[in-house]
């Protein structure tokens, strides 16, 4: 296992500082409503465009975690493009973890602007650090990722997510 973690450390470290731009696209009202319903926002500005307009929003309001909870924005990668554990490469900004399995290690979110239906959104994903650590059951990597969600047209910052992943 040590050799695999060391190989992954070398490959992942090469991606530190590289920013991957991922076009999310125009936020669809129905997708926002479905997500909001699943997370318990069953009424008001999360389900009714008129209620959102009454509160001064330019479109149906997205649930706060919508952008950061969705890990894949296309129809999905081919099975051959998935990581060994079945995860998409997207949350890591396409950094190679050499076949290790990933687990979320926590998020720190900053909400800058309301996210509403109709916005055209782009995500910038950057691996900011890769650290090799010795855990109780052997070596592992801690991968730090900074994701910025911006409006495509003017670059206005909507949400920032500082997230860590554990790879073993």
Set out the domains of the chain in order of their start, with CATH numbers: 2-27+75-167 (3.10.129)
pTM: 0.87
Hey, what are 51's tokens? 């209620």
Tens digit of pLDDT for each residue in 59-114? 999 999 999 998 777 777 778 777 666 666 655 656 677 678 888 899 999 999 99
Taking CA 19 as the corner, what is the angle to CA 160 and CA 94, rounded to the nearest 5 degrees?
100
């Amino acid at each position: 296992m040590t050799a695999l973690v060391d190989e992954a450390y070398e490959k992942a470290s090469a991606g530190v500082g590289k920013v991957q731009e991922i076009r999310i696209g125009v936020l669809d009202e129905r997708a926002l409503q479905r997500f909001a319903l699943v997370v318990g926002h069953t009424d008001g500005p999360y389900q009714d465009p008129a209620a959102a307009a009454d509160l001064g929003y330019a479109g149906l309001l997205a649930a706060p975690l919508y952008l950061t909870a969705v890990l894949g924005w296309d129809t999905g990668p081919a099975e051959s493009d998935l990581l060994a554990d079945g995860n998409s490469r997207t949350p890591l900004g396409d950094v190679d973890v050499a076949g290790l399995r990933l687990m979320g290690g926590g998020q720190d979110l900053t909400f800058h602007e309301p996210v509403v239906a109709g916005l055209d959104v782009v995500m910038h994903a950057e691996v900011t650090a890769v650290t090799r650590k010795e855990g109780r059951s052997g070596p592992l990597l801690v991968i730090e990722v900074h994701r910025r969600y911006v409006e495509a047209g003017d670059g206005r910052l909507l949400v920032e997510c500082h997230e860590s992943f554990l790879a073993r």
